[in-house]
Structure 1
Amino acid sequence: MSTMKIKKGDTVKVIAGKDKDKEGKVLSVDKKNGKVVVEGVNMVTKHAKPSAANQNGGIIQKEAALDVSNVMYVYKGKPTRIGFKVENDKKVRFAKSTGDVID
């Protein structure tokens, strides 16, 4: 992908899949594969063997990656598309619904 419109720390809403309409904070972004991990969304169970980090092992719940096309940025409580524009010789993201600069 060229540029990611979603960044780590953004609040997003899931717009497709089993967790549709859930909201959460982006924990990590994989630009190469176009994936994002959202807090509390797309939970999977993982069977872990006992190790130094996890003494008992067992079944662990963790978030799995979602495709970035399945999430939408939330601005002032409403999902919106994101665009880029140059302001004062700096490239900034803006909410397409309102035109407000995000960062």
Structure 2
Amino acid sequence: MAMDKINGSPLLRQGLLDRFRGSERGSTHLGAPDSTNQPAKKPADKADISDAAHRLVDLRAAVEAGRAALAQVPDVRPEKVAAARERLATGFYQSAEVRQAVAERVGSVIESLDSL
């Protein structure tokens, strides 16, 4: 009596059972391919990463490095606060030259935002 059914389903390929048993007709290794009963293997998938993706990776690394460097700088620099207080007290920021410089810088920022 030959066993040709497992759980009511017929064995579709005798090579599977042979490999499991380690017989001479099949391979002794379960994962080894059986060239007589297996279709030709498809080539492995291949992924190419574009130059733009490489640039984005480099940009992300630069941003992370910048964040790490910025984390080392204190939020408040007492010497800058003291200098600003002194300039406020002396009326430095009320001069026409300072107002003109601030207006020019704000204008250049607005122009650069328009080009985005």
* Bin of the TM-score, shorter chain as denominator length: under 0.3
Largest Rg, 1 or 2: 2
Report which structure shows greater RCO (CA 8 Å, sep ≥6).
1
TM-score (norm 2): 0.17
More helix by proportion, 1 or 2? 2
Which of the pair is proportionally richer in strand? 1
Give the TM-score, by structure 1 length: 0.19
